[in-house]
A = this chain, B = another copy of it.
Amino acid sequence: MRLEDVARWSRVSTATVSRVLNNAPSVKNSTRARVMKAIETLKYNPNLHARSLAAGKSRSIGIIVSNLGNPFFWDIYRALERAARDAGYEVIIANTDYSSASLAASVWMMLGQRVAGLAAIVSEMDPQWIEVFEGHRIPVAYYGVNTPRKNIFNIRVQYRRGMEKLISHLYSLGHRRVGFVGHHTELGSIQERLKGVLDSVRRHPDLQVSAVEDEDSLEGGRRAARALLAANPTLTGLVCVNDWMAVGALRELRETGLCVPADISVTGFDNINLAQFCDPALTSVHLPRDRIGQIMCDFLINRESQYQHEFLIDPELVTRESTGPAGRNTVQT
């Protein structure tokens, strides 16, 4: 079923059918109706490849994320998709699993698809890619690029400030020995969170921090918590790189018989919905996923975002049940 079939059926040229398909204004109503009917009865379905090849562009924007299984990314995707769809665009997703190889493949694919714009929400985004994109003239919205760069649209979360808020919160509750549950710490934006922790340490000389890393998953969080406690049984607080892993950590603590927050406090990051649904509800720091998704889409499509080149986010502390005064593990001096 091709354009030509529809054209023949409705006794017009393919050009006219094409016009109808694209709502060109210059088509007589009667012919338009005839063509529409043909499309209908023939169940014609345009070949998107041919369409974007001929048009030289595709009505779709791409989004690459590290781990869609983590609700944080999912929320951003949702917001971006909604905005894109409202503007008449499709969204193509790619998941990288924090793998550089996978990222490369995804980027390649997006480029091959000739997406109209690309949202890169991957902590493993290597600066080299930025140049590749510039060469391709395709607008890209980044998330979490830390090295300042001119002429790129970047959403930068002030992780360190977020982490500092969390750490200060714990410190003021009397915690002096905390563990950090991280993941893929070699990566930029994540590294940033760890730095936030370490900075806070410097600020509070009597604070001891031990870090461990595992994969970004419930199981990863659980294993990390286990490792941390095994090496350091007297920890009174667990700072997790994100809520997703924190939920895993909570599970491990429960298993061990430790009560949160009576015996040990736990903090997350991102403030995903699940943070309110786990037990105890997680103290976290809020990242506006909806906003992020919208802004990125807005930039990609309209290209005239009111935010020049960088959009800064200062995460806000959200205190819930998982943090409390340092309890029985506290050294009695």
Chain A residues near B (Cβ < 8 Å): 43, 45-53, 58, 68-69, 71, 74, 78, 81, 90, 92-93, 95, 108-109, 111-114, 132, 135-136, 217-219, 222, 247-248, 250-251, 254, 273-274, 276-279
Contact = CB atoms under 8 A, between A and B. Distances in A.
Contacts of A274: 218, 247
Given A49-B114, A53-B47, A112-B47, A248 B219 contact: no
Nearest to A136: B45
Contacts of A81: 95
Q: How often does this chain occur in the complex, in copies?
A: 2
Contacts of A251: 276-277, 279
A244 to B, nearest CB: 10
B273 A43 contact: no
A48 B69 CA distance: 27
Contacts of A45: 108, 111-112, 136
A254 B71 CA distance: 22
A217 B273 CA distance: 10
A58 B49 contact: yes
Contacts of A74: 68-69
A43 B114 contact: no
- Greatest chain B CB density within 10 A among A45, A108, A113, A248 is at A45
Given A48-B113, A247-B277, 9 more contacts: A45-B108, A45-B112, A45-B136, A47-B112, A49-B52, A90-B109, A92-B92, A218-B277, A251-B276
Contacts of A111: 45
14 contacts: A43-B132, A45-B112, A47-B112, A48-B49, A48-B109, A49-B49, A50-B53, A69-B78, A81-B95, A92-B92, A218-B274, A222-B277, A247-B277, A254-B279
Contacts of A114: 47-49
Nearest to A108: B45
Nearest to A74: B69
A222 B278 CA distance: 12
A113 B49 contact: yes
Contacts of A250: 277, 279
A14 B66 CA distance: 36
Given A49-B114, A111-B45, A273 B71 contact: no
Q: Which 3 A-B pairs have the closest CB atoms?
A: A48-B112, A279-B279, A49-B53
Contacts of A90: 109
Given A49-B58, A112-B46, A254-B279, A273 B218 contact: yes
